[in-house]
Structure 1
Amino acid sequence: MSSEDGERSGRLKKVITDENIKQIHKMILNDRKLKLNEIADTLKISTERVHHIIHEYLGMRKLCAKWVPRELTFDQKQRRFDDSEQCLKMIKLQSVGKHNSRLVRLWRLYFGMRME
């Protein structure tokens, strides 16, 4: 009788490998509407492990039935900043009162507030 474990049939214990992470990432980039169970069936690993890899290793989440990065990249943040600066410059160059009242009206309409 031996105290060591022998070979067992079934799935491998280690499924969070660089290869699986890369495959899942590639699958998601090819089809952002892919479901967890479809990925799990393709790679023959559990949906729980697929979920863990997507959320913890790839930093993605499902939004409106699509997988998207959880956080903005530096370039995306920079673009938002540049766009905001450009809007502020336009407001300063134009008639402030006229533009401001349009902005407030649009904001109220967008958020469903009644005009006074």
Structure 2
Amino acid sequence: MTVDLREIRPCTETIEDNINDVQRIIETDERVTYQQIRTSLCIGTNKLYNILHEYLTVRKLCARWIPYNLNEVQKLRLVNWCREIIQLFAGGDSDPVYDMITSDEIWVYCYKPETKKRSAQWMF
């Protein structure tokens, strides 16, 4: 006799509480890993992937989770942040400005982590 695990395992893992819990976890600790989230919430890999990519619409890019679509408030915040960075780094004439990287619509300050895994961060 074979048992189909899909019949035993509830398919309600992706409920609102789990979505809110995952969001709270990655907002609290931007460097939390998939494994740490899965362990703390006792949910499967596929469900966690669905929560992160379909419900929260975040993705791992460089060292941060970046939202696919930015709303107007987020865009304005990014523009203001970029203006502050330009002023901070003397309009681009300062050497540390070259440690900046950009992708999509986000600029992220680059630093030298101890390991590649330690640099992983979550971001909305």
Query: For residue 32 of structure 2, what is the aligned residue in structure 1?
Result: 34
For these two proteins, the number of residue pairs brought into alignment is 82
Greater helix fraction, Structure 1 or Structure 2: 1
* 1:77 aligned partner, one-letter code: K
Post-superposition offset of 1:72: 2.0
C-alpha distance in structure 2 between counterparts of 1:78 and 1:25, whole Å: 22
Post-superposition offset of 1:18: 0.4
The answer for unaligned runs of 5 or more in structure 2 is: 1-7, 84-97, 99-124
CA contact 1:33–1:67 (8 Å) conserved in 2: no
Post-superposition offset of 1:51: 1.0
For the aligned residues, what is the CA RMSD? Answer: 3.2
* 1:55 aligned partner, one-letter code: H
Which protein is bigger by CA-based radius of gyration?
1
TM-score (norm. length: structure 2)? 0.52
TM-score (norm. length: structure 1)? 0.55
Post-superposition offset of 1:11: 4.3
Measured against aligned partners, the alpha-carbon deviations of 1:19-39 in whole angstroms (never above 9, x if no partner) come to 000000000000111111211
Query: For residue 87 of structure 1, what is the aligned residue in structure 2?
Result: none
Flag the 1:57–1:38 CA change in 2: closer, same or farther, 3 A.
Answer: same
Q: Which has the higher contact order (CA 8 A, sep 6+)?
A: 2
The answer for unaligned runs of 5 or more in structure 1 is: 1-9, 85-109, 111-116
Query: For residue 44 of structure 1, what is the aligned residue in structure 2?
Result: 42
